[in-house]
Amino acid sequence: MTESGDTVRRRRVVVGVGGGIAAYKACALIRILTESGCHVDVIPTEAALRFVGAATFEALSGNPVSTGVFSDVPSVRHVALGQRADLVVVAPATADLLSRAATGRADDLLTSTLLTARCPVLLAPAMHTEMWEHPATRRNVDTLRADGVHVMPPASGRLTGADSGAGRLPEPADIGRLAALLLDGGALPWDLAGRHVVVTAGGTREELDPVRFLGNRSSGKQGHAIAAVAAARGARVTLVTSADLPVPPAVEGVRVESARELHAEVLRLAADADVVVKAAAVADFRPVEVAEAKLKKGSGSEPAEIRLVQNPDILADLVAARSGGEVPAGTVLVGFAAETGDATASVLEHGRRKLARKGCDLLVVNEVGRGTTFGEDVNGGWILDAAGGETELDRGSKDLMAGRILDAVAARLDGRPASDPA
C-alpha cells in the first residue's frame, strides 16, 4: 500500500533455471528478487531439478514449481506465466537452453514461457569455455540478441572441475542489478559492441602528507553505473576510478588517486577510445608541497598555510588532443557538471557556458546543494549537446540515468565504424 492507500501491483518475475551446476546460484537470485518485493515464479528445466530440488525453489519463491506443459493444465500455465510477467530472467542459461530458445522450441514450460513473454528477457549464461566459444553457441547468442533478448556476457574464472575461463555464471547480485534496471523501464540494447568506452569516476585525492589528502564528496556511484551499463550493452569498458567501490563485472578497472594520475591514464586510454565519459570530480587544485612525514601539531613542522597550485583540466586537454589528432576525431567526449544556480545564472545557464568553455560533445548537468546527488542512489538533471539540444533526465536510479546518458552517446556513434569490431 502507498501512503495514499493505493495498492501497488507487485512486479511479476519469472526465474527460469537451466540444468547446470550453477543452478544453485539461482537460489540467491530468487532471494534478491523476492526481497525487493517481486512476485517470483520459478520455472526449472527437468535437468535443473537434478541439481536443486523443487522444494527449495518453492520455499524460496513461495509459489508452486513445475517443469512441463501438462501440469495444472486448466490454468494454462505455459501461456499465462509468460503473458503476465514483467520480466523473465534465466540463470543459468545453458548451451542447450540457448539453442532451444534461439530456435523457438517450446518443448517444456520454460521455453514455452520464453515464447509467450512480451516483457524484457534477460539470460545469464553458464557453461564451459569451449561450449561458450563454439560457433553454434555464438550463432545462437547473436540470434537471441537480434531478437531483442538480453544475453549477459558470462563471467571469467573458476569453472566446475579444474578448468577456468569464460563461462562462469555472473554473480546473482550483478544479474539482480540488470533485472532491477529492466523492471524500472530501462533498456539494454546490444548497441555498444565493438566500442571502447573509457569512464572516469570518483573524486580525486590530492595528497598533503602520507595520511591526509584534499578530496571532495563525489561517491563515484554514477561513473561506476555508467561503466556497468556500458559493459552490459556490449562495450569494452575501462573504468579509471578513485572511488571505494567494486569494479563492475566485465569491466577493466584502473585505480588512481590524484588528478595528475587520472590525467595521465585518461590521455593514454583515449588514444583508442570511441567514447570518454568524464564523471570524475577532479580537484581543480593540489597542495604545492607534499610532506614526506605526517604533519604533527606542536612539532613546528605544521604548515601555517596550505599553498595550492592548479591541476590540469583533463577534459579541456582531451578536446585539444582530439583537435591535434592524438585522440581519434570521432571520439565522443562527455563531461559532467554539478552546478548550483546563483544570482548571475540558473543551473542550466551555467551548464551551457561550461559546455561551450570545455568544448566537449555532451555535458550531463546535475543540480547540487539541496541534499541531492552526492552519494545518493538516485540522480536527475539534463544532457546538453554542443548543437544546442537539451534532454531532461527524470530522477531515477543511477543505472537508469547511465542508460539515458549512453542512449545519447550511442546516437552520436550511430553509423561510425567501431574501433575493435568483434
> 355 Cβ partners below 8 Å, 6+ apart?
335, 363, 384, 386
Q: Which residues are catalytic?
A: 216
> For residue 129, what is its C-alpha cell?
569455455
Closest CA to 291 of 226, 370, 210, 349: 210
Q: Is 313 in the site for ligand CTP (CB under 6 A)?
A: yes
Q: Which of 166, 34, 152, 147 is nearest to 101 (CA)?
A: 147
| Residue count, binding to ligand CTP (CB under 6 A) | 12
Would you count residue 337 as binding ligand CTP (CB under 6 A)?
yes
Separation in Å, CA 292 to CA 207, 303, 324: 10, 13, 38
Question: By CB under 6 A, which span of 208-216, 230-238, 274-282, 414-422 interacts with ligand CTP?
Answer: 274-282
Evaluate whether 386 touches 409 at the Cβ level (below 8 Å): no
Question: CA 366 from chain center: how many Å?
Answer: 19
Q: How many CB atoms lie within 10 A of CB 71?
A: 13
CB of 269 to ligand CTP, least distance (A): 14
CB-nearer residue toward ligand CTP: 61 or 258:
258
Q: How far is the CB of 410 from ligand CTP (least distance, A)?
A: 19
DSSP 50: G
Query: Of the ranges 7-15, 103-111, 121-129, 279-287, which one interacts with ligand CTP (CB under 6 A)?
Result: 279-287
Q: Residue 299 and residue 32: Cα distance in Å, rounded?
A: 54
Among residues 311, 331, 366, 373, which is the contact residue for ligand CTP, using CB under 6 A?
311
Q: Rule CB under 6 A: say whether 351 interacts with ligand CTP.
A: no
- Does residue 280 bind ligand CTP (CB under 6 A)? yes
Nearest approach, Cβ of residue 223 and ligand CTP (Å): 9
Pick out residues in 359-398 that bind ligand CTP (CB under 6 A). none
Q: Are the C-beta atoms of residues 125 and 151 closer than 8 Å to each other?
A: yes
Site string for ligand CTP, 315-334 (x = CB under 6 A): x-------------------
From the list 47-55, 248-256, 276-284, 396-404, the region that binds ligand CTP by CB under 6 A is 276-284
314 is an interface residue for ligand CTP by CB under 6 A: yes
Angle, to 10 degrees, between the axis of helix 314-324 and the axis of helix 347-358? Answer: 40
Please give the residue ranges that form the binding site for ligand CTP (CB under 6 A): 259, 278, 280, 282, 284, 311, 313-315, 335-337
